[in-house]
Amino acid sequence: MSLLSVQNLSVGIHGTPILRDVSFEVRPGMVFGVVGESGSGKSMTALALMGLLPDGAETSGQATLQGQTLLGLPERQICAIRGAEIGMIFQEPMTALNPVRTIGDQVAETLIVHGKANRSEALKIARQRLNRVGLPAERFPLDRYPHELSGGQRQRVMIALAIALRPQLLIADEPTTALDVTTQAQILTLLKSLVQEDGMALILITHDLAVVSDIADHIAVMEKGRIVEKGPLETVFRNRENPTTRKLFAASNHAPQRVVRAHTEPILEVRDAIRIYNPSRRRLFSKTQGLRAVNNVTFSLKRGENLGLVGESGCGKSTLTRAILGLEPLQGGEIRAFGTPVGPRMPKSQRAKIQVVFQDPYGSFNPRWKVVRLVAEPFHLLENAHLNRRERVAEALESVGLCADDMDKFIHEFSGGQRQRIAIARALILRPKLIVLDEAVSALDVSIRAQILDLLADLSKRFQLSYLFISHDLGVVRSITDRVLVMKAGEIVEEGPTEQLFSNPTHPYTRQLIAATPRLPDDLKPPHADSKGTA
Amino acid sequence: MKLPHTLVLGAILFGLFLAAALVSFLWTPFDVETLDIAAKLRPPGALHWFGTDHFGRDIFSMIMVGARTSIAVAVVAVGIGVALGVPLGLAAAARHGGVLDEVIMRGNDLVFAFPSLVIAILITAVFGPSALNAIIAIGIFNVPVFARIARSGALSLWTLDYVLAAQVAGKGKIRISFEHILPNIANLLIVQGTIQFSLGILAEAALSYVGLGAQPPTPSWGRMLADSQTMISFAPHLALFPGFAIVLTVLGLNLMGDGLRDILDPRIRRRVRSRPERSPE
């Protein structure tokens, strides 16, 4: 007996088809994974079931939850089902909670709104639910506010909210994407236990095949609003009948072809770097206590080397990046690039030798400038900047796989992957020898990520580039770096050649990180899958 | 793109008064400085559209010339606010958390702490009542408004990667403020500008009403109101027309501000156009 049955669900918005003939069944106690790239219709499927589609959407087809139809219900009726029968967890725990209300209040509100309990009972049940999701009363009383909790804890509150009324079906839309790997592992374990112990069904929407392989029983692969392949996890993972599925797998396991060019000459040396960060003052005359965001960090990067720097959010990666780029001063130690010191007051010629690519393809560009001006911005560091500016921009755009005509377009005309190529073009235009890649592929879909990684490997070969590759994603770091540094709480806790470090981590924190990273199980990999690591 | 109704209506209302002010330089139905006691207190009619005042001056002409005064005072007052406030706000944002930020923003708080109209009265009382002093008094109180708007807009932009990229490209904070920050907060400033403009017109009317604004014989809406109050029982048109002029101009500017916010605010615009793409990270 299926809990949720969806048949030929189609959704169009103002005439544009968004979902086409989506059909699947979910049984109680089952984890149903929905995978696909952004824009494939994963989230729309969830929104359609919850009756949360945007204005102008027309739906057709059937969706029933225990025989009760879900589509086309009047708002009042769908409201009664939402929360009570179907709970939902969103991606961004930082914004999904109301910052001015306590967590107890917010969990209890669901119960009160649905008329299931009066206030004191609701608070009692809220307490139980928060206990259930691992937020015990001693440490997390009901009167905590969201800002007092970490991202993972907030996501637990979101889950408590979603299960407040013991819904039979839980929909989780990228529930762990915004979280660090160790937190992600904990949240996935919690979701798994909710399904196993409380008999809920879970629809898990994600772009990450490894996450799905960890937890789902059945999966559906979506592309362009259709389910292209579905079935039990193992069957789909082994057979991969559909090209889209194969493409997703190939991209997830992708390791670019690279040649290791071993040099011994260091081009970037960081010695005993200390960066003390002063939080903005609460009161006008109060003394502030400094925070050591970077504490005695020492490493060097050799010519032609790809060096990885991994760590979780708040470990000091970004602060170190800013110091290496010479944007912020150090309070101790020194950084030298190409033998010359780096700092906020370094000469332009020195600054031109290190360029950077940032994470967010949307925030990296001034929306009011054309591509030519954006890419040419580093020319500010040169003396004869005006000389054949357009030719050099054209050259840079072509080297990243775009065409020269793109230079007269505005940035909003490009997709996320193309924008990241433009960001690389901007970093390349001065022909630097070192590029800092700050989470440069983290915001991209797996297939786009694979293309950008290939491009980076190719550029490094053509222009003899060295990369400092900063990321929280161990899989990506493993595929593109020669050597890795692991950073925790401002310090480098382990350092070593990539393969050696991943296969034989010595520091407990590194082990913890590697253990928490979801991986595609080896026995489900097809025999021809390229082995990770470098050639 | 479809313009919001509020913007169209507001622009028409304000445009009407702007046109009246401009036309008044070339032509008015009657000379506003010539007294014609024989024709005093005429009700609105075919010859004098809005009637005449107690000196026999044509009210329609006076409103046209008065629009000139109001708009000129408001333009210069907003100009002072933008010219001083925006650079201060940008500087404060560029040095966020530093001493300069603290000094500028606490200075702003200081100016904000005084009731603006009372201080405007004080200034004009000390330096003598005149349109120029009214402008300066109103202008000073626009400075912290624009400084705050500019600072808060700029602060959110300073955290963006493209500003970081500009720093990596070796650009200084002043250059970044003008190249990257200012164009991207222009929409906020334009919207606030229209609101401050209407407040400027109100402030000028209020100062003129108490006799501290433009001096006779220069017509001013505020003083027309003040002059009319003893005669309101038998010549209500003396108060009605300048009153309507003030209300409609301010209403027009506020509607315009709302409309401009609708089309210029990127958050609202994006919501209307399309939902932002969700990134998996």
Angle, CA A24 vertex, CA A23 and CA A25 arms, to 5°: 140
CB B281 within 8 A of CB A445: no
pLDDT of residue A280: 55
pLDDT of residue B36: 76
Option in A278, A351, A363 nearest B170 (CB):
A351
Provide the mean pLDDT of chain B: 84
Q: Chain A, 257-286: which have a CB under 8 Å from a chain B CB?
A: 278, 280-281, 284
Note the ipTM here: 0.77
Pairwise CA distance, residues A245 & A36, whole Å: 9
Query: How close A427 gets to chain B, by Cα (Å)?
Result: 9
Better pLDDT: A383 or A410: A410
Q: Considering only CB atoms, which chain B residues are within 8 Å of A325?
A: 167-168
- Indicate the range of A282-296, B94-108, B146-160, B250-264 predicted with least confidence: A282-296
Task: Give the pLDDT confidence of A305-329 residue by residue, as tens digits.
Answer: 899 999 888 788 888 998 999 988 8
- At residue B278 the predicted structure's pLDDT band, cuts being 50, 70 and 90, is very low
Task: Determine whether the interchain pair B281/A443 forms a contact, defined as Cβ–Cβ distance below 8 Å.
Answer: yes
B263-273 per-residue burial string, b: 16 or more CB within 10 A, e: under 16: beeeeeeeeee
Peptide bond into B217 cis (omega under 30): yes
pLDDT of residue A531: 41
Residue B38 within any structural domain of the chain? no
Q: Is residue A135 left, alpha or beta, with left meaning phi > 0 and alpha meaning psi from -120 to 50?
A: beta
**Across A350-367, average pLDDT:** 88
Task: Determine whether the interchain pair B168/A356 forms a contact, defined as Cβ–Cβ distance below 8 Å.
Answer: yes
State the CB neighbour count (10 A cutoff) for residue A1. 8
Pairwise CA distance, residues A71 & B269, whole Å: 30
Pairwise CA distance, residues A373 & A410, whole Å: 10
Task: Give the pLDDT confidence of B203-244 residue by residue, as tens digits.
Answer: 888 888 888 877 877 888 888 888 888 888 888 888 888 899
Query: How close B150 gets to chain A, by Cα (Å)?
Result: 17
CB A33 within 8 A of CB A220: yes
Residue B35 within any structural domain of the chain? no
Q: What sign results for the dihedral spanned by CA atoms B218, B221, B222, B226?
A: positive
- Selection from B157, B279, B264, B219 nearest residue A207 by Cα: B279
Cα–Cα separations (whole angstroms), residue B136 to B102, B110, B127, B222: 25, 17, 11, 17
DSSP-H helix ranges across A23-102: 42-50, 75-81
Pairwise CA distance, residues A243 & A252, whole Å: 14
Task: Give the B-side interface with A, CB within 8 Å.
Answer: 96-97, 102, 106, 160-162, 164-171, 180, 183-184, 275-281
Pairwise CA distance, residues A365 & A274, whole Å: 30
The CATH number that applies at residue B215 is 1.10.3720.10
Residue B142 within any structural domain of the chain? yes
- At residue A415 the predicted structure's pLDDT band, cuts being 50, 70 and 90, is confident
pLDDT of residue A443: 81
pLDDT of residue A389: 85
- Minimal-distance CA residue of chain A relative to B99: A284
Look up residue B96 and give its two tokens. 């966020």
Q: Give yes or no for A359 touching B (CB within 8 A).
A: yes
Question: How many domains does one find in chain B?
Answer: 1
Which strands sit side by side in the sheet containing A266-277, from one edge to the other? A291-302, A266-277, A332-337, A340-341
Chain centroid to Cα A106, Å, comes to 27
DSSP secondary structure, A17-33, as one string: EEEEEEEEEE-TT-EEE
- With a cut of 50, say whether residue B89 has pLDDT above it: yes
Q: Percentage of residues in chain B with pLDDT exceeding 70?
A: 93
- With a cut of 70, say whether residue A440 has pLDDT above it: yes
Q: Considering only CB atoms, which chain A residues are within 8 Å of B277?
A: 38-39, 416
Name, in order, each residue with C-beta under 8 angstroms of B186's C-beta and a sequence gap of 6 or more.
Answer: none
DSSP secondary structure, A348-415, as one string: HHHHTTEEEE-S-TTTSS-TTSBHHHHHTGGGGGSSSTTTTHHHHHHHHHHHTT--GGGGGSBGGGS-
pLDDT of residue A468: 93
Look up residue B217 and give its two tokens. 């014989």
Q: Which domain holds residue B115?
A: 5-28+50-269
Task: Give the pLDDT confidence of A334-348 residue by residue, as tens digits.
Answer: 999 998 999 888 888
Residue B43 within any structural domain of the chain? no
CB A203 within 8 A of CB A170: yes
Residue B159 within any structural domain of the chain? yes
Task: Give the pLDDT confidence of A221-242 residue by residue, as tens digits.
Answer: 998 889 999 999 888 888 888 8
- At residue B276 the predicted structure's pLDDT band, cuts being 50, 70 and 90, is very low
Residue B111 within any structural domain of the chain? yes
pLDDT of residue A523: 57
- Minimal-distance CA residue of chain A relative to B166: A377
pLDDT of residue A386: 67
Pairwise CA distance, residues A131 & B225, whole Å: 69
Cα–Cα separations (whole angstroms), residue B129 to A280, B72, B204: 45, 16, 12
Provide the mean pLDDT of chain A: 86
Better pLDDT: B6 or A93: B6
CB B262 within 8 A of CB B268: yes
Pairwise CA distance, residues A194 & A3, whole Å: 16
Q: Considering only CB atoms, which chain A residues are within 8 Å of B161?
A: 358-360, 363-364
Task: Give the pLDDT confidence of A97-118 residue by residue, as tens digits.
Answer: 888 899 999 999 888 888 888 8
State the CB neighbour count (10 A cutoff) for residue A262. 10
**Across A376-391, average pLDDT:** 82
- With a cut of 70, say whether residue A1 has pLDDT above it: no
Pairwise CA distance, residues B164 & B166, whole Å: 5
Pairwise CA distance, residues A124 & A144, whole Å: 15
Task: Determine whether the interchain pair A378/B170 forms a contact, defined as Cβ–Cβ distance below 8 Å.
Answer: yes
- With a cut of 90, say whether residue B86 has pLDDT above it: yes
Task: Determine whether the interchain pair A358/B278 forms a contact, defined as Cβ–Cβ distance below 8 Å.
Answer: no
Q: Give yes or no for A356 touching B (CB within 8 A).
A: yes
Residue B278 within any structural domain of the chain? no
pLDDT of residue A427: 92
Length of chain A: 535
pLDDT of residue A284: 56
CA dihedral of A455, A456, A462, A467, whole degrees rounded to 10: 180
- Minimal-distance CA residue of chain A relative to B266: A367
Residue B203 within any structural domain of the chain? yes
- With a cut of 50, say whether residue A529 has pLDDT above it: no
Provide φ and ψ at A311, rounded to 5°. 170, 165
Task: Determine whether the interchain pair B280/A367 forms a contact, defined as Cβ–Cβ distance below 8 Å.
Answer: no
Q: Percentage of residues in chain A with pLDDT exceeding 70?
A: 94
- Minimal-distance CA residue of chain B relative to A361: B161
| Residue A77 three-state SS | helix
Pairwise CA distance, residues B242 & B194, whole Å: 21
